[in-house]
Chain A
Amino acid sequence: MKRRIPLTITLVLGIVLMIQFFIPHQFSQDFKNTALEWLRVIGSFAFIIGLASFVTHHATKIRHKKEGWAYSPIALGALVIMAVIGIIGRAPNMSWLPVTVHGQQIPVFTYLFANFYNYMMVPLGATMFSVLAFYIASAAYRSFRAKSLVSILLLIAAFIIMLSIIFYNVLPLGDLGEWLLSVPNMAAKRGILLGASLGGIATSLKIILGIERGYIGGTK
């Protein structure tokens, strides 16, 4: 029963929406639009799952004093502070405790929220990704070996692209890079796209028909 209901829901909704695509009648369109609106409403609750996982993970870490547990209070504290500041600070018609910034009056929570975002979240997130550049440089030096014909091909293609970016005004090179992208690369990527799409559609059908049951936890 606990499995049947979700599987039935998926089956019915999946088939109905697939058929709906082919029916231009106004009722069918209205049904789809209502379904989409309800999907948005339901979707606005979906973050709960991620939030719950995060909190339980760090709470367990603290409780059982697992390795690195001292950092978990920081994560949880940051979550609470940012959430509280955000929920208060972004309320409509918010005007508590104005602070003067650059000659303008801004409520303190809004000010804090904006600055926590711009000067803490943004630098932290952006820097985390930019560290990847160093890892690529190190990998380029230590791991990219032209050991076989195929890897030589790969490196040649990569070199052509990189050189065509550097010397884009040297006409032959820039156009060679463009040719590489629009002919061999497009051929390969289109083949991969066709194959992957067929696979994706097959998987979606399997989900609708209940053959693929991973999303309800456990297969049978």
Chain B
Amino acid sequence: MKKWIPTVIFLAVAVVLIVLAIVFLPVSKSVWVWIAALLTLAIFSILYRDNPIYRVAEHLFVGLALGYGLALTWWLGLWQIALRPLFVQGRLILIIPIAIGLLYFTRLIPKVSWLVRIPISIALGLGSGIAIPLIFQATIFEQTKASLVLPEMFQPGNPWPGIWAIILLIGILTTLAYFFFSRKEKSVLSPVSKVGIVFIMLGFGATFGLTVMSRVSLLIGRVQFLLREWLGIIAQ
């Protein structure tokens, strides 16, 4: 009996606040903005407790997103680069990739569903073959090149870039040492790996601090929408 009392109080307060808002604030008169605001609040309701309103909104989102993707993939993908060039512009050579693409549909037919592996393997083979030399150059070569400590970095009046470059190099080598040479069985890590951990922790700490800023920014964006477009409290 008592379990639903907090929920009722919460809803009552919410209704009162909304009525007050409508009376005293220049709230938006557009139906669509109200729909958007109510859906936003529906998702926020998960913070109080998992509830049916949230689940409805969640399923609605998933369905809409897929439908959106489907519609645009049809027009911008299938029609513009596959079907129209073939049927309207007469580029018959495209029959081959279209036929291969149609094999994706065989996933729905259990008897021949192994055929779906063909387009997958083509995409993977092409993708991997193209990627390997490029990623090798972009990461291994370029990053190693950038880690070199050069004499030019030590200018007479300003040795700091060179000093930081040395520390950078130490950090890179010890980080690699930590990942490649630390064994799980050993409880005592070598000193080199220990230095590596220091660098890694500083790096992860930086990532963590930035992640907090990122998530909070997303929240601020939503609140800005509610306060600006819906309630009209802050300026456009």
Residue from B60, B73, B140, B219 in contact with A194 in the complex, judged by beta carbons closer than 8 Å? B140
Is A194 touching B67 in the complex (CB atoms < 8 A)? no
Q: Which residue of A lies closest to B130 (CB)?
A: A17
Query: Among the interface residues A16, A17, A81, A89, which one has the most CB atoms of the partner chain B within 10 A?
Result: A17
In the complex, what's the smallest C-beta–C-beta distance from A62 to chain B, in angstroms? 12
| Inter-chain contact total with CB atoms closer than 8 Å | 377
Q: Which residue of A lies closest to B206 (CB)?
A: A185
Is B40 touching A127 in the complex (CB atoms < 8 A)? yes
Measured between beta carbons, the chain B residues less than 8 angstroms from A207 are 124, 128
Is B144 touching A194 in the complex (CB atoms < 8 A)? yes
Measured between beta carbons, the chain A residues less than 8 angstroms from B58 are 71, 124, 128
Cα-based distance from A74 to B108 in the complex (angstroms): 23
A211 at the interface (CB under 8 A from B): no
Q: Which residue of A lies closest to B198 (CB)?
A: A153
Query: Among the interface residues B43, B102, B105, which one has the most CB atoms of the partner chain A within 10 A?
Result: B43
Measured between beta carbons, the chain B residues less than 8 angstroms from A181 are 206
Residue from A14, A42, A216 in contact with B101 in the complex, judged by beta carbons closer than 8 Å? A42
Size of the chain B interface, CB-CB below 8 angstroms: 113
A29 at the interface (CB under 8 A from B): no
Is A128 touching B102 in the complex (CB atoms < 8 A)? no
Given contacts A6-B120, A157-B205, A188-B175, contact A86 B71 (CB under 8 A): yes
Cα-based distance from A41 to B121 in the complex (angstroms): 15
Measured between beta carbons, the chain A residues less than 8 angstroms from B55 are 68, 71
Measured between beta carbons, the chain A residues less than 8 angstroms from B172 are 187, 190-191, 194
B114 at the interface (CB under 8 A from A): yes
Q: Which residue of A lies closest to B146 (CB)?
A: A190
Given contacts A86-B67, A183-B164, A216-B121, contact A201 B132 (CB under 8 A): yes
Interface residues as binary, A124-146 with B (CB distance below 8 Å gives 1, 0 otherwise): 11111111111010001000000
Surface stretch bound by A, among B1-9, B14-22, B91-99, B148-156:
B91-99
Cα-based distance from A22 to B143 in the complex (angstroms): 21
- CB under 8 Å from chain B, chain A span 191-220: 191-195, 197-198, 200-201, 204-205, 207-208, 215-217
Given contacts A41-B81, A154-B204, contact A79 B66 (CB under 8 A): yes
Query: Among the interface residues B82, B132, B134, B203, which one has the most CB atoms of the partner chain A within 10 A?
Result: B203
Q: Which residue of B lies closest to A12 (CB)?
A: B125
- CB under 8 Å from chain A, chain B span 194-209: 196-209
Is B176 touching A194 in the complex (CB atoms < 8 A)? yes
Is B32 touching A115 in the complex (CB atoms < 8 A)? yes
A171 at the interface (CB under 8 A from B): no
Is A119 touching B33 in the complex (CB atoms < 8 A)? yes
Given contacts A120-B35, A124-B43, A161-B209, contact A186 B179 (CB under 8 A): no
In the complex, what's the smallest C-beta–C-beta distance from A42 to chain B, in angstroms? 5
Size of the chain A interface, CB-CB below 8 angstroms: 119
Q: Which residue of A lies closest to B68 (CB)?
A: A82
Is A44 touching B68 in the complex (CB atoms < 8 A)? no
Given contacts A123-B40, A131-B43, contact A136 B215 (CB under 8 A): yes
Cα-based distance from A188 to B195 in the complex (angstroms): 11
The 29 listed contacts between A and B (C-beta, < 8 Å) are A13-B126, A17-B126, A39-B126, A40-B81, A42-B97, A78-B60, A82-B68, A83-B67, A85-B71, A86-B74, A89-B71, A118-B32, A120-B60, A123-B40, A123-B43, A123-B222, A124-B39, A126-B225, A130-B219, A154-B208, A155-B205, A156-B205, A157-B201, A160-B205, A186-B168, A191-B200, A194-B143, A197-B135, A216-B117
What are the nearest 6 A-B pairs in CB distance?
A86-B71, A187-B171, A157-B205, A82-B67, A17-B129, A78-B63
User: Which residues of B does A touch, CB under 8 Å?
Assistant: 32-33, 35-37, 39-40, 43-44, 46-47, 55-75, 77-78, 81-82, 94, 96-98, 100-102, 104-105, 107-108, 114, 116-136, 139-140, 143-144, 146-147, 164, 167-176, 179-180, 196-213, 215-216, 218-219, 221-222, 225
